Structure 1
C-alpha cells in the first residue's frame, strides 16, 4: 500500500479528515485536482457545533482570529435605509454550550487554517492530481490520475464535491430536487461606498427582478455579492457584467466595484447520495449531500462527516477495532444529512428560522447501533446525545475531551478501572449530566451511559479497547 487512506478533495471536508487521521497516526494522503486551495468565500458560516469540533481539532483559536460575527442586515430601497433585518435568532452562550452563534469566516480562509494545521501534524496534500478512475478489491483500492503515478490505498474517501468523479465512477445516484429554479451569482469583490457594519440587502425592483445582497466578509477587505436571476438566465460572470448588476440593483455606480476576486454561479438544489459507502470507498461532504446555501449547513454537515469517519478509520487501522465499525458511518451520517437538507431547504423557502435548528447542537445518534443506554430512568442527557461542556470539579469537560481518545465522565459514581486509552474525569453531580457514568466517544457524543459500570467493559471491547 502507498497509503492507508486516500482522501480525494482538499476542501474543508478532506482537510478536516486529513487532520483527524494525522493526529491518530494514520497514514493518509489528500489529493486535489486543482493546483491550489479553493479561492472563494462560498461556505462562510461556521455553526456552533462545528466550532466545538474545531476546538477538538486544534484550529479554533485560528478560526476565531480570522473571522467575526455576522452583521445586522440592512434593507435598502431607492438609495435609502428602510429597516434592519436580523439574520439569526439570538441565543445566549452557556456553560454547556459556549458557542452561541455562527462565526463568519470565508471558506478560502477556513481552508487555509485547516491546511496549516494538517501540515503542522505532518499531513500532506498533493495538488494537480485529478482522479480519472479506480479499481477496488478485497484488500484495497488502486486510484488512477490524469498525471502522476497510481496510488494504492486501503480505503478511499471521496470529498470531491457535488459533482464527485468518485461517486459517479461508483455509480451511486443522488436523489433530490431543485430548491429554487432561479440561478444565483456569488462573487467576492472589493467595493467602495458601503459600510462594513451591515449586511446590505436590496430587494427586487419590480416583477421578475432578482434581489441583491452585499455582505462584508469578516477578517478581509472583501464583500460577498449574491444576486438572483430569473429562471433560464445564463449568468454572466465577467467583471463588467457583475458591476452592471450591482449598479442596476442598488444606488452604487459600476465603478464602486473596484475588483472582482472570484465569481461563480449555481442553481440551489438539495440532493442526497443513495448510499455513503461502496466497498472500501466512502462518500463525505458535498459528494454525499448537496445543500442550498441558505442557513449555512453544507460546510458544517460536511466537516462533521469527516469527524465521524475519522475516528472510525483510526480505530480500525490503528486501534484493533473490527472493520464492521466502518458500516456505522453511513448508518449515523446519512440520516443526519437528510435532516439537515430539509432544514437548509426550509430556510431557503422561509419556512425555518436560522436559530436553534441551524446551530446543530441538538443533533445526535440515539438510534445508532453504537449507542447503549443502560439506565432505566433517564432525565436529560441520553446516550447518543452530544456531550455538553461544563465544569466537573476543577476540569473543563471540553478540555478533557480534546484529543483522539475516549473519555469517561463519572459524576457522583466511582469510576471503574479502564484501559489507559480512556481518559477518566470524576466529580460530584453536574447539572448537564446529572449522576452516572458517561462514556464519551472521540467525536464528542455519549456512546454508553449507565448508573454503574456493568456492561461498560463489554462495550469498550467492541472498539478494541480492553
Structure 2
C-alpha cells in the first residue's frame, strides 16, 4: 500500500494549488518542501484574472480579495522628473461573463499563506525541511527518498519544485531553451520611507532602470533594477549599497534611504520548457516545467493554472473514476500553452525594452488582454469533443435560479448546463446516469451568446471541473447519451447502466 495517492514536491503557489484541488476532491495528498520554514519574500506580484477565478473556485476568493489590491498606478520618470501617471486598471468593470476584470496585486508569500490556510482546512499541512534526494518508479508506484533517508511511496508524484527542479533532474527530462547572460537584473525587498505608496515608481533612464512597487499589507517595496558591473564587465551581486547608488542616480530624491533588505536576488532572463510534462507516474508543473521572462506577469499564474488542469484529472484517476489515459491530456493541453507563454512573454519583454526608451512610458506597454489568460483554450485536445466552443473557458453568467454559473461549477465535478425549457428531461437523464461525476444546472437565457447557443435553441453544454467546455450538443435523449458516453470513457464506476 502507498503512503499517499499523490506526493507533491514543492510548496509554492503551484504545489499548494494542486494540493488544495486534490484534497477538496477527496484524494490523499502529501506536500513536501525543502525549506525549513515558509519564505517571506514578494517574488510574484499577484494573480491575473484567470487565476482569481481558480482561487474563487477553491473557496479562497474572499481571502485573496481582502489581502490584495486592484488599483495599480504607474508613475514614470526620466532624469528624476515625474512625467506621466498611468492607472492600468482605470475603467475596468466586471461583466456577466468575466467576474474579475483586473488582476490582483499581492506578494507571493501572502498568496502561499492563504493557500496553506485553505489546505489546512482539509487537514493537510506542508511538510517542511524535506529535500528530495532520489525518485524511482515502477508499474505500481513512485518512491521518493528524502535527504534524511526516509521514503515516501505514492501512486503519482508531481514536481512543483521550481526552475532547478530535483524531480525533473531525477526523471532525466531535458529542459531546452536559453539563458540570456546579457539580460540580468537585481530584485529585492527593501524599505524606503518617504516615497508615496499610492504609486508603482518607475525610473527608466538611458543608463539604467529602477522600479519600486509598494508591497500590499507591508511597509516594504519590491525593487527591480538594472545591475552594476565591475571593471571587467562582470555582474556584481546585489547589495544594499548598490541599490542606494542606483536610487540616488535615477530617483534623485534627497533624504530617502533604502533599508532592511530582506531578500536580494540576481536573475537572468531564461526561456526554457521541459521536453515533456509527464514521465510515467511523475509530472512537472509550474517553473519545473517552464520558465520565461517576467514581462507579462505569467510565471506564477501559468503554474497555478497547470495545477488546476492536472488536479481534477489526478483526483478522478486515484479515486478509480477515470482511466489512467486521462492523465496524458495534461501534457497534451498544457505544453502548447507553455510554448505560447514563452513566445508571449518574450514578445512582451521586447515591447518593454523598446517602449520604455520613450520618456514617460513604463511597464504598461507589456499589458495586453492576452495576459489575463482568460482566452487560453484547448480546441486541439482529445477532451474537446464537439460544439462551437469546445476547449474554451466556460464564461460566467447566471443560472435560471439566479446563481452565478461559476458558483455552480465550483468543485471536483463536471457540470451539465441546459439551455432552453426543453432541456429539462435530457438534464435529468444525464444526471441520473452519472451521479458521481455530474451536476446539472439550468442556464439563464442571457448566457446563450457567450456559449454559442442560438436564440430559442435547446442545448446541453458539458463543462469540465477546470471550467473548460468539453462538449456542446442537442438537448434530447441522443444528446444526453453523448454526454454519458463521454463521462463513461472517463469514469466507468460512476455511471449507471442504461
TM-score by length of structure 1 reads 0.94
Say if 2:462 is the partner of 1:462: no
Alpha-carbon distance, 1:119 to partner:
0.8
**1:129-161 deviation per Cα after TM superposition (whole angstroms, max 9, x unaligned):** 111112111111111111251111111100000
State the secondary structure of the residue aligned to 1:203: strand
Alignment check: 8 A CA contact 1:270 1:341 kept: yes
| Residue 163 of structure 1: how far off its partner (Å) | 0.7
Instruction: Tell me how far 1:254 sits from its aligned partner.
Output: 7.7
Q: 1:408 maps to which residue?
A: 416
Q: How does 1:35-184 map to 2 (within 5 A)?
A: 35-85=36-86, 87=88, 91-147=92-148, 149-178=150-179, 181-184=182-185
CA distance in structure 1 between the aligned counterparts of 2:285 and 2:236, rounded to whole angstroms: 29
Deviation at residue 252 of structure 1 after TM alignment: 3.5
The equivalent position to 1:356 in structure 2, one of 363, 369, 378, is 369
Matches within 5 A, 1:177-326: 177-178=178-179, 181-204=182-205, 206=206, 209-229=207-227, 233-252=234-253, 256-326=257-327
**1:398 equivalent among 406, 413, 431:** 406
Aligned partner of 2:435 in structure 1 is 420
Higher helix share: 2
Alpha-carbon distance in 1 for matches of 2:443, 2:463 = 16
Q: CA deviation at 1:174?
A: 1.2
Give, in whole Å, the separation in 2 of the partners of 1:182 and 1:171.
Answer: 28
Return closer, same or farther for 1:447/1:89 CA change in 2, 3 Å cut-off: farther
**For residues 176 and 83 of structure 1, do their structure 2 counterparts lie closer, same or farther at Cα, with a shift above 3 Å needed?**
same
Unpaired segments ≥5 residues, structure 1? none
Residues 409 and 426 in structure 1, CA contact (< 8 A), matched pair in contact too: yes
Task: Verify the 8 A CA contact 1:40 1:263 in the aligned structure 2.
Answer: no
Partner of 1:267, secondary structure, is strand
Cα distance between partner residues in 2 of 1:354 and 1:255: 30
State the aligned residue count: 457
Residue aligning to 2:379: 366
Alignment match, 1:12: 13
1:392 aligned counterpart, secondary structure:
coil
What displacement does 1:192 show? 1.2
Partner deviation per Cα, 1:189-247 (whole Å, 9 max, x = no partner) = 1111210111111112x4xx320011112232211110112785423233333233322
Matches within 5 A, 1:316-355: 316-350=317-351, 353-355=366-368
**How far, CA to CA, are the matches of 2:85 and 2:256 in structure 1?**
27
Task: Report the alpha carbon displacement of residue 255 of structure 1 after superposing the two structures with TM.
Answer: 5.7
Superposed displacement of residue 460, structure 1: 0.9
Report the alpha carbon displacement of residue 257 of structure 1 after superposing the two structures with TM. 1.2
Instruction: Find the aligned partners of 2:255 and 2:25 in 1 and give their Cα distance.
Output: 52
Aligned counterparts of 1:125 and 1:10: Cα–Cα separation in 2: 7
CA apart distance, 1:70? 4.4
Rounded Cα–Cα distance in structure 2 between residues aligned with 1:90 and 1:164: 41
Change (3 A) 1:319 1:187: same
Which digits, 9 at most, give the CA deviation of each residue in 1:162-190, with x for residues without a partner?
01111112111112234672211111111
Deviation at 1:86, TM superposition (A): 5.3
1:259-305 per-position Cα deviation (integer Å, ceiling 9, x unaligned): 21212110011111111011111000000000211111010010111
Q: Which residue of 2 aligns with 1:389?
A: 396
| Residues 228 and 236, structure 2, Cα contact 8 Å, conserved in 1 | no
CA shift for structure 1 position 128: 0.6
- Residue 305 of structure 1 aligns to a residue whose secondary structure is helix
For residues 372-422 of structure 1, what are the alpha-carbon distances to aligned partners after superposition, in whole Å with 9 as ceiling and x for unaligned? 11x5xx4xxx11111111112122101111111111110112324222231
Alpha-carbon distance in 1 for matches of 2:180, 2:103 = 23
Deviates more, 1:18-27 or 1:33-42: 33-42
In 2: Cα distance, 1:24 partner to 1:134 partner: 26
User: Aligned pair in 2 of structure 1 residues 342, 254: CA closer, same or farther (>3 Å)?
Assistant: farther
Superposition RMSD on alpha carbons, in Å?
1.9
The TM-score normalised by the length of structure 2 is: 0.88
- Relative to 1, partners in 2 of residues 1:300 and 1:314: Cα closer, same or farther, differing over 3 Å? same
Distance 1:117 1:401, change over 3 A: same
More displaced stretch, 25-34 vs 425-434: 425-434
